[in-house]
Amino acid sequence: MSIQIDVVRNRLTLFIDGVPFKKYPIALGKPGTPTPVGEWKVVNKSKNWGKGFGSRWIGLNVPWGTFGIHGTNRPHSIGSDASHGCVRMLNRHVEELYNLVPIGTLVNIMGHPLGESFADPRPLALGDSGADVMLIQFQLKFAGFYKGACNGRFDGATDQALRKFEQSQGLQVDGVVSLSDYLALGLLE
């Protein structure tokens, strides 16, 4: 059993033995708080997890924060990019999914870490987190500027590495990943 989340179509598909079994409409993260692209696993499940999370919670092992698939008390948000990064489902849909998926289920959130191709990637700075931050860390590490863990958390070590990189490239040394930084890192053309 596995779950595939399409961030372009706002759709969650449950696969059983590699065959699509059920498809659900979903809401995803806003551009400033994107849904974490990558391959994750279900690590916990709970009923009535907290206010605003609907009737069920299916937690994922994202290293830079608490993310999951959950119900919603805002059903009108389904089909849009409206959350702080979690995957929202209608309560009746998440209850059905909750009963089908065990802990350990693979969850593949498809998409590009820098977001959708028609939009500029978000600026990143100290305190930000996400798959885009992890990508920046990998690029800085590959370039020899970053020695820390590529964990998707823009921490002090990431800030220092970015500033050293900016200085080496003749960029504005401000610790903010802007379009010029993305270009210099080879992440945009």
- How far is CA 126 from each of CA 2, 94, 153, 161, rounded to the nearest angstrom? 34, 34, 8, 12
Non-local (6+) Cβ contacts of 73 within 8 A are 52, 54
Shortest CA distance to 176 belongs to which of 184, 87, 150?
A: 184
The answer to whether 148 and 157 are in contact (CB under 8 A) is yes
> Can 84 be counted among the known catalytic residues?
no
> Can 150 be counted among the known catalytic residues?
no
Of 86, 93, 112, 150, which residue is the catalytic one? 86
How far apart CA 172 and CA 6 sit, in angstroms, is 36
- Among all residues, which ones are annotated catalytic? 70, 86
